[in-house]
Structure formats: C-alpha cells, structure tokens
Amino acid sequence: MKSFAFAGVALALLALAPSGAALADAPQPLTLAQAVAIAADKSPSVALANLRTQEAAAKVGQSRGALLPTVTGQASMVDRTFNLYTLGITLPTIPGLPPYAKLQGPVYDSEARLQVAQPLFDLASWRRMRASQLGVQGARADQGVSAEGAAQSAAIAYLRAARAQALVTARTEDLGLAQQLDSLAEAQLAAGTSPQIDVTRARTQLATTRGELVIARNARDRARIDLARALGLDPNTPLALVDTLSASLGTSESPGETAAAVAFALEHRPELRGEQARLARARADRAATADERLPRVGVSADWGQSGQHYADAIPTYTYALGVTVPLVDGFRREGKLAEEGALVRESEVREHDLRDQIAAEVNGALLDLATGQEQETIVRERLQLALEEVSQATDRFTSGVAGNIEVIDAQSSLVQARDADIDARFAVASARVALARAAGVARNVH
C-alpha cells in the first residue's frame, strides 16, 4: 500500500514538473489525494522538519562518542634549557663559580607517542546516549506533525479552489438564465405584451450577473495560486482540479463514531507520540544526571618512542586502570536534578493536556461534520425549490400574467440557493479534512 502511495506521489510530481512551453499551454490534472501527498512529502515545512530529524540523529553519534575509544597521536622534538634553582636544586657556594652555572642544557628530547583510552563503566554517558536516541524519536514525530499540517493546508486549499470553481460554474449558469430572460423580455416587448421596463430590468440583471462571473473567475484563479503555494510549487503552475465538491470528497480512514475516533486519534496523532518521546527523554536526562554520582571506570594505554634523538629512542609505555569517584561538585548536580525533575513534570502536564485536546478536536470535527451534513440536506431541498420558482415565474412572464420582476426575484433566490449548496458541500468536505487531521491521518485524505 505504501509503495503504491509513493508511486502515486512520484507520478504526480512528474506531472507537475515544469516542462517549458508545454506547461504554459496545458494545465496539469490534480486530484485531492495527489495534492495531499505532494504537500506531505515536499512542502518546505516538511523539508525543514526532516533536516531537524537529521540534526537529532547526528547528536546520537556525538553522545555515543563518550562510550567509544579515543585515540591520540603525538610527536615532538624539544630543545630546552632550564634553571636548576626553579627545580629546587641549589648549588654549593663555590668561589669563582659563574652565575650562569645554574643554567643547564640544552637538553634534547624526541617523543613519538600513541594514547588510547576506553571507558569500561560510565552509566551516565550511556543514559545520555539513550536520551539522544529518544530525541530522534521526538524529531521524527515532529516531522509527522509537519507532514500532517502540510497535508491539511493543502487539502483545505484544494477544497477552496474546488469551491471557487463551483462558484464559476454557478455564475455561468446564472448568466445563461439572465441571457434567456433578456431574450424573452425583448420578444415580449416586440409582441406588445411587455413594457420597456421589463427589458431594462433584464439588461440590468444581465450586467450584474456578468460582473459576478468576473469576480468568481478572479477568486478561482487566486485560489489556484494559493493551492500551488500550499504544494510548494511555482505560483504560475497551471492546475486543473480533477475532484469536485462531491459527497465523498475529503474522506479518510478515521472512524465516524466518537469513542472509536478518539481511540484512533490517540493511537495515530504524531503530536502525542512526540510528547511521549520528549517525556521519556526528560526522564532519561534526569536519570543520567543522577548516575553522575556513580564511579566511572576506564582503561588507558600510552606507548611510544622516547630519546634525545629519534635514532636512539627506546620504547616506553604506561598502562592504567582508573576509577573516578565523584564526591562534591558544589551542589551543581542537585540543582540540575531539581531542574530536570520540573521538566519531567512539565512534560507530563503537556501530555495529559494533549490527550484532552485531541479528544476535543475529534468531538468538534464530528459535530461540524454532522451539522454540515444536515445543512447539506436542507440546502439541497432549497435549491430544488428555487429551480421550481424560476420555472414557474418564467412561465407566468411568458404567459403575460406577471412582469419579469418575479423572474428576477426568483433568479436571485436561485443564486443564493446555489451559493448555499456550494458552501454546505464545502463545509462538509472541510469537516472531513478536520476530522482526518484530528485523527492523525490527514496524509490519507482523498
């Protein structure tokens, strides 16, 4: 399943890649699922989160270095003189002894040495390495948070673009009705069954509808620019939306029942996994500080050639087994333990609050979805009634029973009903996306 998803993302990226003049001519088809996958994989926020994960992984290697051998090489050639008196050596007072007799040297010393040190027991350093590994888990969870946020932003941008496209379609249909009314008013005037005022009203309605269509097209083009930015693409990239505001747009694998959805969200939300990793790291850091009280055991070896000249140097060595026992450090450790204990409790509070926040977000999204679905049913009925009203008013105007003011009023009601229907479908799809984000599966929205 994952390989299929990645293949889909790759195909989408290839489809959206710039290709010279062909790009400017043919808009690239884009589904909601493709938009979400591209944003979750390639948006700038996700790229930055990926770099932070790499930084956290690099810190693991740094902390592991305290447990691995250290090897140092050194070579030197020294030519020095020294004052015997500075070494605590005094010469007897001898008459005629020159003052510089206490100056000794020059002494030649040539050294080539290799030092190796290896910790044997250092529990504090081991716990710090474990803490840094938990930091990587937290960074990966934060990367998931960024991907979820980018996916939600891309999904909402796609829905807004789909809504803007639906409004253009609605205004185009409104323009068709206005043109029909204008033609009908002209015919009625020519037949002597309608006054000039009806023609004027029809032309006014036609001009108004044309202006609304211009505004709707501008909103559609701006929505597509916003969608391209949400995907991390060039704003000039032409996009052709494949999905419309259908009844299933924005669905995901999130359950629709409250208790199941909350349990699902607690299992899948990356924010909770990240906070749990940060809590575990805070505890590991505190344990590492406490373990600084324990002795540390290590071995070291120093081997090399020593002599006045490299040619006459002889091997010398030092082997050591050392135990370091911390005694008193000015109560620095105790202060650090108190600080890290507060950090642990702070993370525990955040984790508990985050669980409640996740439950609240799931409940809110389910409420919005249920309300939107009820509203969608109501506006669908309203739209049908508005269409019937336009048909009946047109028949009355054609029969000469009434003027076209009734038709214009009916068309205005139809415009409002169409807008309400589009807004209701947009609200339902947005609620589905919000539910997917609350459940931690916004990357799977389709």
CA dihedral for 194, 200, 203, 208, sign (positive or negative): negative
pLDDT in tens, 55-69: 999 989 998 888 899
Residue 2 has pLDDT above 60, yes or no: no
d(Cα 373, Cα 96) in Å, to the nearest integer? 116
Residue 99's pLDDT is 63
Q: How many other CB atoms sit within 10 Å of the CB of residue 229?
A: 16
d(Cα 290, Cα 148) in Å, to the nearest integer? 37
- The CATH classification of domain 2-68+123-291+333-444, taken from the options 1.20.1600.10, 3.90.1150.30, 3.30.499.10, 1.10.3720.10: 1.20.1600.10
Residue 95 has pLDDT above 70, yes or no: no
Q: Is the peptide bond before 99 cis (omega within 30 degrees of 0)?
A: no
Residue 364 has pLDDT above 90, yes or no: yes
d(Cα 328, Cα 30) in Å, to the nearest integer? 66
Angle at 182 between CA 180 and CA 187, to 5 degrees: 95
d(Cα 406, Cα 397) in Å, to the nearest integer? 8
pLDDT in tens, 210-268: 999 999 999 999 999 999 999 888 888 888 999 999 988 999 999 989 999 999 999 99
- Pure H helices in 245-331: 258-268, 270-291
Strand partners, 245: none
In the numeric block, which tokens belong to residue 68? 């691995």
Residue 10 has pLDDT above 80, yes or no: no
- Pure H helices in 74-195: 123-191
Residue 101's pLDDT is 64
d(Cα 280, Cα 445) in Å, to the nearest integer? 31
Mean pLDDT for 342-364 is 94
Residue from 373, 405, 341, 358 nearest 199 by CA: 405
Residue 147 has pLDDT above 70, yes or no: yes
